[in-house]
Amino acid sequence: MDEPNPQIRERFEATRKVGRASMAYGNKSLAYSVYSSGYSGYPGYITSGYSGYGVSGYSLYPNAWSGENITFRQSAFVNQGDYEVSEESSFPIPFTQANLLSYEENQIQELIFRIRTFPSISCKELANRLLALFNYAKEEGASIAINSFRDFYSFLRLNPHLQCPTISLTPEYNIYVSWKADQNRVFSLHFLSNGDVRYVIFKPNERHPERQIRVSGSATIDILQETVASYGVWDWISVSETATIEIFQETVASHGVWSWVSE
Amino acid sequence: MKGQEIPDQHHIARYCGALQCPNGQIQATAFFLRKDEETLSVNWMEFLNCTNREGEITQLRNIYSSKFTRVAAGVKIAVLNVGDVRKKVFAESPDRRDLKVLHDPELNDPSHSVMHNLKPDYELIAELILQTIREEYPART
């Protein structure tokens, strides 16, 4: 058999470790959201906002994502080897490398589908660009890093009204997006797989036009916008908010308008 | 010779994977390191001892075909001038980063060389290197 892709092998090992670690807690039922997994630093911010958008694509990808909340029941077989854990799960835990890859691919396809159907995302081309990268990665026997993709998706949900970025994958298959304008304006984001995003900003120095300001740093997605606010990045990567009549209410919902105009 | 510093007036080529070249445009990710990497692989073009660029690119394509099981359609070759890269990064990185490009021959790739000192903060360094690309070629015909 061919030597497995190192990226897949690494994630497989990580999954095995998570499986082993969870055994130490004995009998318990765990109900957790697939969107929240891995986001212990800011739980639930991905899940918020799903209701009401009417995305009905779940049935298209029945293998792994049959719903948002999944219940695991684990029994105590502590420290008795790698897999002596009894589980009743409505969700197939990917304990083989092939299953892991397929499980992650399903999640990524599901998220791309959501990006495609999410009405507020200004860049309609985004889903196609991501799908192209997904297919390229598949040709290499790999997949986009799922945690990086989830972070990118969260970022989009928080900031839907952005111009289309250029998207590429890092050698670790993380998402890297970049906006460029003029000769000397760059804003790039590297969605690491640990919940952090690293940013790079190049912008003109307004007082000294012949010079450029260059900064980089890292932040979590929820505070990224305020972290880089002083560099005025959002002014030039955003598109003005417009909406058709059909989606107007949900577009302005996040601004709380309906609560006071309905009275 | 292993460890020889490549002169500033010479050129290096970087193999840019298809995932780093969406729509045929090379991105900064082409100059990113993997988690366990400390140096960026490149090829020393003058070492190939060809009379022109076309010959160098042909040789590089042959090297890639022998090194990699498959060279995808979207893969590109970025050609950079060593002095351009070093000067740009030194002048424009916040920590005045002094990159080194050293010859690091491999058995099946004698022109193989490596760029040192990209970490930490390699995203910003990669964005600067991206701006110094002089020429681009498809990695397969």
Side by side, the strands of the sheet bearing A87-89 are: A28-33, A69-74, A87-89
What does the pLDDT read at residue A120?
85
Any domain includes A1: no
Any CB–CB contact under 8 A between B41 and chain A? Answer: no
* Complex-level ipTM: 0.95
Look up the pTM and report it: 0.73
Any domain includes A152: yes
Question: Contacts of residue B18 in chain A, CB cutoff 8 Å?
Answer: 136, 139
When comparing pLDDT for A25 and A240, which is higher?
A240
How far apart CA A25 and CA A169 sit, in angstroms, is 37
Report how many Cβ contacts below 8 Å link chain A to chain B: 68
Alpha-carbon dihedral sign for residues A173, A174, A179, A183:
negative
Any domain includes A131: yes
- What the block records as the tokens of B40 is 């960026």
Q: Verify whether the Cβ–Cβ distance B32 to A133 is below 8 Å.
A: no
Any domain includes A23: yes
How far apart CA B139 and CA B61 sit, in angstroms, is 6
How far apart CA B98 and CA B89 sit, in angstroms, is 7
- What the block records as the tokens of B110 is 């004698």
Residue B79 pLDDT > 60, yes or no? yes
Interface mutation vs chain B, best among A10, A164, A170, A199, most B CBs within 10 Å: A170
Write b or e for each residue in B46-74: b if 16 or more Cβ atoms lie within 10 A of its Cβ, otherwise e. ebbeeeeeeebbebbbebbeeeeeebeeb
What does the pLDDT read at residue B129?
98
Any domain includes A44: yes
How do residues A210-246 score in pLDDT, each as one tens digit?
889 999 999 999 999 999 999 999 999 998 655 555 5
Side by side, the strands of the sheet bearing B112-116 are: B100-103, B112-116, B40-44, B11-16, B76-81, B133-138
> How many domains does chain A divide into?
1
Q: Write out the residue range of the structural domain in which residue A221 sits.
A: 6-261
Any domain includes A67: yes
Any domain includes A154: yes
How do residues A106-150 score in pLDDT, each as one tens digit?
889 999 999 998 888 889 899 999 999 999 999 888 999 999 999
Any domain includes A29: yes
User: For chain B, how are helix, strand and coil distributed in percent, rounded to 5?
Assistant: 35, 25, 40
Q: From the CA of B40, how many Å to the nearest CA of chain A?
A: 12
